[in-house]
Amino acid sequence: MRFAVISDVHANLESLEAVLARVPPSDAVLCLGDIVGYGPNPNECLALVRERATATVLGNHDVAAVDGFGIEFFNDAARTAIEWTRGAIDADHVAWLDGLSYELRTDDYLMVHGAPVEYFTYILNKRTAAQAFAATDAPLVFVGHTHLADYYALAPDGSIAHAHRQHGGTLELEPGVRYIVNAGSVGQPRDLNPDASFATYDSDARTIVWERVPYAFARTQAKIEAAHLPASLARRLELGR
Ligand code: ZN
């Protein structure tokens, strides 16, 4: 079985379409949240995710779009964008988001936006990764939230390895080792590579493959400008930060 793992679409339709064009129809699609926020196409991205995703969990921007929860933790540009989103988003999409959960677990993997249990914590180093491993017994944890494509591996001896995958690449899953896999961001990468990021988990081959997908970010930038969203949100797309 193959699973395309996508996260942090952030209402960027051009990047979402580019990523989904790379996903074979037979692959399941796991969405780790933050479908909206920052970008100019929340309704179109929600419609595509609802059509294509096999399973979706909530991100902090999705929760804020539903009822304003957590908005006090947002920086100025994020807050401006989420207020714009709340005015733009269809009621039917809000109702759908409101029905999602913060985590989904199978025997094989756990899906959360930021971290297990502390759903909106950022896993940015081995210390926070160790806390995340301790909070769950899932052998494989899929996360987004940081917008950085990377992974942490917990060996049986308790040591943790960390590696970036900001230019794509493969990870061969080893027996007895537990993993936190960050798919990176589809719609607003922050690892100095502007190309959209996603990962594919092959449960038979026991591999994770990260891919970077170029997309027409100039079109997204023009829409951000036309919607009078903060200019910084357009600029960062070409910088990948
Ligand atoms: Zn995000």
What backbone phi and psi angles, to 5 degrees, belong to 104?
-135, 135
Distance separating alpha carbons of residues 149 and 33, to the nearest angstrom: 15
- Work out the average pLDDT over 52-65: 98
Tell how far the Cα of 175 is from the centroid of ligand 1, in angstroms: 31
Q: What is the pLDDT of residue 5?
A: 99
Which position has the token pair 């988990």? Answer: 201
Q: How confident is the model at residue 74 (pLDDT cuts 50, 70, 90)?
A: very high
Q: What is the pLDDT of residue 4?
A: 98
Q: What is the pLDDT of residue 241?
A: 95
Tell how far the Cα of 212 is from the centroid of ligand 1, in angstroms: 17
pLDDT digits (tens, 9 = 90+) for 216-238: 999 999 999 999 999 999 999 99
- Work out the average pLDDT over 26-44: 98
pLDDT digits (tens, 9 = 90+) for 6-32: 999 999 999 999 999 999 999 999 999
Based on its alpha-carbon atoms, the radius of gyration of the chain, rounded to whole angstroms, reads 17
Tell how far the Cα of 69 is from the centroid of ligand 1, in angstroms: 15
Six-digit token pair at 66? Answer: 């539903």
Q: How confident is the model at residue 90 (pLDDT cuts 50, 70, 90)?
A: very high
- Work out the average pLDDT over 159-165: 98
Query: Of the candidates 210, 209, 234, which has an alpha carbon nearest to the alpha carbon of residue 221?
Result: 234
Tell how far the Cα of 110 is from the centroid of ligand 1, in angstroms: 18
pTM of the model: 0.97
Domains of the chain: 2-239 (3.60.21.10)
- Work out the average pLDDT over 92-99: 98
- Three-state DSSP string of 25-75: CCCEEEECCCCCCCCCCHHHHHHHHHHHCCEEECCHHHHHHHHCCCHHHCC
Which residues are within 5 Å of ligand 1 (an ion), measured at CB?
8, 34
